[in-house]
Amino acid sequence: MKSTADDDQTIDPYVPGHGDHSFDVDHYALELAYAVESNALSGRAVITATALGDLERFELDLYHLRVSKVTVDGAAAAKYTHHKNRLVVRPKTPIAEGSSFTVVVAYAGSPRPMPGLDGDAGWEELADGVIVASQPHGAPSWFPCNDRPSNKATYEIELTAPVGYVVVANGVLESQRRRAGSVVWRHAESSPMATYLATVQIGRYESVDDGGDVPIRTVFPAGTRSESVEAFGSQREMMELFVRLFGPYPFASYAAVVTEDELEIPLEAQGLSVFGANFMTRDWEHQRLVAHELSHQWFGNSLTLAHWRDIWLHEGFACYAEWLWSEESGGPTADEQAEEHWERLDQLPQDLVLGDPGPELMFDDRVYKRGALLLHALRQTVGDDPFFDLVRTWTKRYAGGSVTTEEFVAVAAEVCGADVGRLFDPWLRDTVLPELPARRD
């Protein structure tokens, strides 16, 4: 379901200079080849799009890589320029509003993470492989795209890598075939996906599949099977809990990729998550993040914010999922987690607006915890059954779409009663931390 937020033609101030609201991409077909030793990437992107107005020109995002050719509907573009991260294309004839058109971009170079207001993101070399973590602005580091989260598309990702390396990408692995010292890996993602969630992971990996109704695969460095299987052994139980509370799992499968390198935090992508080797433990601080990343498949990947100011819709829910898993697995209850984290937040500076934290604070831990506390306050106010009815209504109604805070508040009022709307403003718009309400009997 498309949100009314798609009508908003403003550029997102959290990621300035990204995205073009004059067209929507419907499908990306990426043909890539990568040399691990030299960090050399060559690509051909076939982009199918729809004009949202009459187009004499349009822009794609592409960072640091060199463009060698651009065609529009099979004809060479009348003119294209590539400056910094903007590829400006002028087709030979204007494209009429509502028309479908196809852009093909050939490009190559040595990819590297793209800088942004919140730091660097995107394609990154490991000691022996690659991770791609693009949230929120790193997708242009490896393919030309309309880099705004409200433009979700389907994908085909074909990547040729040297023999000995495994490639993991979004969607279903359709084929792998040998070609003269290399292997061609082809994945397809049929569910709509925001650009920042597109990924490839390259490494000397092995994997195990637990064979459940929703396949869960754990991918790990060669020789670490027992440690990896043990550390990620609760994912099936987490999946069962979240399906019960949040609704059906939204994609065909799920994978946890464990890199040989250590990573400070896990990395989110659609249908998979990426963890460092330091996460191969059963410590709660690591297990909570295994649950956190899995829950993002509902909150962030299926339901994706239309504007980055609404990041709490992703991180608040994912943090709350940690507390739900804590209670389910015999740890502190959600009530106890909420009380503890409220006390911690109360000791921190009260200068964050949850509903619009700004690019410098969008990944501040207070966004995560205050978002989770808002959800707990809502649950305390309305009771368990209405709260989880709301969550399941939310995930079903907007599955595969783009969402806003205003839409969530509206669904909450619809499911839980109009009076509940008064709860949101102090949590979302005020800097002072509200008190947690008493639990409804």
Q: For residue range 45-62, list pLDDT tens digits in order.
A: 999 999 999 999 999 999
Gap between the Cα atoms of 358 and 13, Å rounded? 8
Strand partners, 169: 200
Domain annotation for the chain: domains and CATH numbers: 1-197 (2.60.40.1730), 204-297 (3.30.2010.30), 304-429 (1.10.390.10)
Rounding to the nearest 10 degrees, give the CA dihedral for residues 297, 299, 302, 303: -170
Number of H helices, E strands in the chain: 9, 23
Rounding to the nearest 10 degrees, give the CA dihedral for residues 7, 9, 10, 12: 70
pLDDT digit string, tens, across residues 170-189: 999 999 999 989 999 999 99
Phi, psi angle pair for 428, to nearest 5°: -90, -35
pLDDT digit string, tens, across residues 277-292: 999 999 999 999 999 9
pTM (predicted TM-score): 0.95
pLDDT digit string, tens, across residues 201-248: 999 999 999 878 899 999 999 999 999 999 999 999 999 999 999 999
